[in-house]
Amino acid sequence: MPLYAATIFLSAFLLFLVQPVIARQILPWFGGSASVWAICLVFFQSLLLAGYAYSDFLIRKLTAKRQLTVHVIMLSVSLLWLPIAPGDRWKPTGAEDPTVLIL
């Protein structure tokens, strides 16, 4: 049981470490404004809430075997976005609203 607890703690720590790393990388692109931090915070907190809803839905509506299938599919799809690094297309090019680019 301690191994499971340590694994969950470490994975949560690493996942939440992504938010400040991404925000710190894109902060200079948008002039270092506080809105970049705020938008990143709202985005990652929204993802956290969606994750809670996802887990609640799976526990309430699906059997254990189907939960495993859904988790494997979601894990496979998430691997398409690795590595997590902001690209040049994220950079602002003009006077457009930076909120959409950050999200």
pLDDT above 80 (res 9): yes
pLDDT of 22 reads 82
Return all residues near 84 (Cβ < 8 A) that are at least 6 apart: 18, 22
In 29-81, beta strands by DSSP E? none
By residue range, what is the domain housing residue 97? Answer: 2-102
Q: Is 34 helix (H, G, I), strand (E, B) or coil?
A: helix
Count up the domains in the chain and report the number.
1
pLDDT of 59 reads 92
Tens digit of pLDDT for each residue in 41-82?
888 889 889 988 998 999 999 999 999 999 999 989 989 887
Tens digit of pLDDT for each residue in 77-101?
989 887 777 777 777 777 777 777 7
